[in-house]
Amino acid sequence: MPGPGDSGLLRELQEDGGPAGPPVQVDDLAAAVRDYEQHKEPRWVWPSAGHVYQRLLQAGVRVARCHDVALADALITGRDAALGSAGSGHGDAGAEAGDAPLAGARALLKAAAGSGEQSWNHRLDQPALFDPVEAGAAGLVDPRSLLDALVEVHAEQLRSIAADEHPDRFGLLVTAESAGSMVAAEMTLAGLPWRPEVHDALLAEMLGPRPALPGQRPARLAALADQVAAAFGHSPGRVQGSRPVNPDSPSQLLHALAADGIRLTSTRLAVLKDVDHPAIAPLLEYKELARLHSAFGWSWLDTWVMGGRFRPEYVVGGVVSGRWASRGGGALQIPRLLRRAVVADPGWVLVVADASQLEPRVLAALAGDRAFADAAMGGDLYAELATAFGGERAKAKVAMLSAMYGGAGGEAGQLLAVLRQRFPAAAGFVEAAARAGEEGRVVRSVLGRACPPPSANWRALTEEAADPDAERDPRAGQASRARGRFTRNFVVQASAADWALVMLVSLRAELAKMISRDQPELVFFQHDEVIVHCTRDQADIVTAAVSRAAVAASRLVFGSTRVAFPLSTAVVDSYADAK
């Protein structure tokens, strides 16, 4: 547990989480942690990686294993809330009166972790392990009280994991989620290699030179705005009875289109693309470039790229399905064009690996459908499935996406019927998940991540009225079907997130075995794709490590399965060349 300055408290624990000895005060927490790592094989227990591990990394200390109490608590609380919603008698951890002390301990840890988390971009020049101002703020609570709370909550979490319906699976999920928090911190510190001069040149190529004044439109956007105005009868430089139409204003655009006899409900791309008007072509181009300028323009470059590195701030399990999110910077939505700015250092390369057609393969493994599993053993799953659709790969893809996402209208419904006939177990698996959602029940991923329970409003809308003669709200069926589509996809997407997370942390362990002066670095992760930055002569070794990590993930998550989870791996100088 961090204390003032560089100090801290350590306490060894037993296997069940109980104390194995008294707390030990250390003057240099980073040095003490380094010593433990060198002479023992500890699993560190801390409130959150953001509270402790970020600063250990800046002190040059890495650890192999941890238990992140905040992430474990989110998984356990989500599971128990879902079980309580299903009528099992369980509820939120610490909610009952008898658990009041535990709830207090949890609240204490949450407050301490929150006070310690700051943006990495504000830490890079921080000389001390623990900033005196932060230490003073956290000092309002005695560090020993925080340590006692940490021990208490961790021990309760171990008991809760052991009591799970599938403790080995759920325990693996907690372990992987905790390890993922360390990967996230390490990737942020390493940063994704980014050439600001390439980024600037790409922006200038598309938008024109960087504007001299903040808020000023780049030349290309200004020219397109003039074209939009002219198309509505407002020529640049000519006095008009009303001001020119601002392409950034939906209300002005709708009013101008209505004045020309075109009435629309919105200015979304899907609506505008079918409109016949001379303003539409320049407006669509304007919208596309304006989004790029707003999300990844020069302001983004100044804010997020420092020292040739883009340092995203990842949020582990930030999406209900377990996928990661990012805190600013748009890390998980890098435009394909700007990938040309992601360039390895001289003498280094990027090993880019992504799982091919991951979610359909996950469905095959979940369902245990032998025919589907045999098809998934090939390289192109949709091509293998195409035999059920007269050899048409496109139709096989539509049918599979319909099965996972709930589309059943038009041709999709007909193709889905074929899928049900040829692969009944796979189709039945997602349809059972959909029925569970429609009935207000919860579903879980293969490792046990629970979907959110239905809201009170949903239950009030969909439950049958006590009066048999009362008419049911017409929105009830729509709400039930919407939740069914959500749970249908959740079981697949969340299980895919389980596999990807275990693959990621397995790869971290593989790379840690490569003791080298120039250690390969994990630098990027999104959904089913990972990037390792390594020296050119390490590329083959890293590629082999990626393959071993995928095999390990398949075994750990799905056990003995016939389904193959191939990774497409490319060794490139620029991220843009990977696909």
Q: Give the predicted TM-score (pTM) of the model.
A: 0.86
End-to-end CA distance of the chain: 45
Check residue 407 and give its pLDDT: 65
Question: Which H helix or E strand runs over 193?
Answer: strand 192-193
User: Hey, what are 146's tokens?
Assistant: 């925080």
Task: Tell me the β-bridge partners of 45.
Answer: 67
170 pLDDT exceeds 90?
yes
Q: Where are the beta strands (DSSP E) in 415-574?
A: 521-526, 529-535, 567-572
Check residue 110 and give its pLDDT: 75
Reference 189, options 333, 329, 53; nearest CA is: 53
**Interval 119-128 mean pLDDT:** 45
What are the CA-CA distances from residue 209 to residues 41, 82, 184, 334 (Å)? 55, 53, 35, 21
Check residue 329 and give its pLDDT: 83
Q: Lowest-pLDDT range, 99-103, 214-218, 220-224, 515-519?
A: 99-103
Work out the pLDDT band at 394, boundaries 50, 70, 90. Answer: confident
Reference 154, options 228, 44, 56, 231; nearest CA is: 44
Q: Lowest-pLDDT range, 55-69, 157-171, 380-394, 563-577?
A: 380-394
130 pLDDT exceeds 70?
no
Reference 192, options 319, 305, 330, 278; nearest CA is: 305
263 pLDDT exceeds 60?
yes
562 pLDDT exceeds 60?
yes
482 vs 385 pLDDT, higher one: 482
Residues 419, 427: Cα–Cα separation, whole Å: 7
Check residue 468 and give its pLDDT: 54
Average pLDDT for the chain:
84
List pLDDT tens digits, range 395-412. Answer: 777 777 777 777 655 566
162 pLDDT exceeds 90?
yes
Percent over 70 (pLDDT), the chain: 86
287 pLDDT exceeds 90?
yes
List pLDDT tens digits, range 19-56. Answer: 998 999 999 999 999 999 999 889 999 988 877 898 89
List pLDDT tens digits, range 435-472. Answer: 999 999 999 999 999 999 988 888 888 876 554 555 66
What are the CA-CA distances from residue 157 to residues 77, 81, 90, 162, 237 (Å)? 10, 15, 15, 9, 69
**Interval 258-273 mean pLDDT:** 90
Residues 451, 458: Cα–Cα separation, whole Å: 15
Work out the pLDDT band at 569, boundaries 50, 70, 90. Answer: very high
Check residue 445 and give its pLDDT: 96
SS3 of residue 574 by DSSP: strand
Percent over 90 (pLDDT), the chain: 53
Residues 577, 559: Cα–Cα separation, whole Å: 34
What domains sit in the chain, N to C, each tagged with a CATH number?
A: 1-190 (no CATH), 197-302 (1.20.1060), 362-494 (1.10.150)
**Interval 183-189 mean pLDDT:** 94
Check residue 101 and give its pLDDT: 60
SS3 of residue 98 by DSSP: helix
Residues 6+ apart with CB under 8 A from 276: none
Check residue 506 and give its pLDDT: 97
| Highest mean pLDDT pick, 141-150, 293-302, 381-390 | 293-302
Q: Where are the beta strands (DSSP E) in 74-152?
A: none
Work out the pLDDT band at 234, boundaries 50, 70, 90. Answer: low
**Tokens 């979907």 sit on residue:** 451
H/E/C letters for each residue in 232-243? CCCCCCCCCCCC
* Burial letters 223-251, b for 16+ CB under 10 A, else e: ebbbbbbbbbbbeeeeeeeeebbebeeee
Residues 324, 197: Cα–Cα separation, whole Å: 29
Residues 246, 193: Cα–Cα separation, whole Å: 37
Check residue 104 and give its pLDDT: 74
115 vs 526 pLDDT, higher one: 526
List pLDDT tens digits, range 341-370. Answer: 999 999 999 999 999 889 888 988 998 878
Check residue 63 and give its pLDDT: 95
